[in-house]
Structure 1
Amino acid sequence: MTWINSLVFMIIGMVIGFLVSRLTICSNSHQKGLRKELEKSRYELEQYRQELVDHFAQSANLLDNIYRDYSRLYQHLATTTAELMPNLPEQDNPFAKRVSKLSDISIEQKVPQEPPRDYSDKSTGILGNANKTGTIS
């Protein structure tokens, strides 16, 4: 009788072990699928960020080209106005005023007023989330 009980318990143990292993293998494969999906999403996010950086760099370059073209256009109009209308006083030439403003702006942009800071205004990370009592919320 003890052999029969041992055999029955052994069969029940094998069935329970089989069921537990099947459940853990299914969740493990589900975790692998989620991990692959996460890696794919991270890769796509990194590609999107790189495209965004490239887009802003190209936009800044195009705006810089527009600025230079407008500066050259105003300078051309100011010089041709002075050549075509030599008796026109300087204060009546509408383009001369704009050319001087554009040159002032370009000088201000080239010479920084203060050195760049190596810190930000707001605290970040763990200390950024601390409230006034000193506890982290």
Structure 2
Amino acid sequence: MNEMENYIAIAVIAFLSGAFLGILIYRAIRSDASRSARVEQQMDELQQTHTRYQAQVSDHFVQTAHLINRLNQDYRDIHNHLAKGATELCSEDSANSLLSLSSETPEQPIIDHQEEISEIEKIYAEPPRDYAPKSTDDQGTLSEEFGLKENEKNKNSTES
């Protein structure tokens, strides 16, 4: 019976270890599936949020267009009211001049920059210099004689 007990013990241990491995594998698969489900749920929520945002933007621009159209209509109504008042309350010449002004499109002002350009050209007509003399008697740093006096003094002092 000792041998039979060993076989039973081995069978029980094998069964328990198989069940334990099965539980571990099931949890690993289930956690991957639950992660996938959570990611899909988050993606759906983000998609719904994005769709709501797009609808809000669309509604905003539709309302803006409606308000601008209403503003244009109000502008036309004010213009017509002023034109009617001008014809009724002003002299005929004044009313005609006001009505002609309102029917014309405003001209763009013509800007002439020629005077500014010529003034700038006068200031910058001379190309920039790479040097500037220290005073009227001194030579500039790019002069051929610049620094020669110091070199001659150094030669004379070394020769003595």
Structure 2 distance, partners of 1:50, 1:96, is 45
Structure 2 distance, partners of 1:22, 1:8, is 21
Partner of 2:144: none
Structure 1 distance, partners of 2:88, 2:53, is 52
1:1-137 matches, within 5 Å, as 3=7, 8-89=13-94, 92-93=97-98, 96-99=100-103, 101=105
Structure 2 distance, partners of 1:74, 1:41, is 49
Task: Choose 1 or 2 for highest CA Rg.
Answer: 2
Q: Percent identity?
A: 19
Query: Normalised by the size of structure 2, how large is the TM-score?
Result: 0.51
Structure 1 distance, partners of 2:103, 2:81, is 9
Query: Normalised by the size of structure 1, how large is the TM-score?
Result: 0.58
Aligned residue type for 2:101: K
Unpaired runs of 5+ residues, structure 1, are 102-137
4+ aligned runs moved over 6 Å, structure 1: none
Structure 1 distance, partners of 2:37, 2:47, is 15
The C-alpha deviation readout for 1:11-69, integer Å capped at 9, x for no partner, is 43332222121111112112212222221221122122112211211111111010011
Unpaired runs of 5+ residues, structure 2, are 106-160
The C-alpha deviation readout for 1:87-134, integer Å capped at 9, x for no partner, is 3256731x5433455xxxxxxxxxxxxxxxxxxxxxxxxxxxxxxxxx
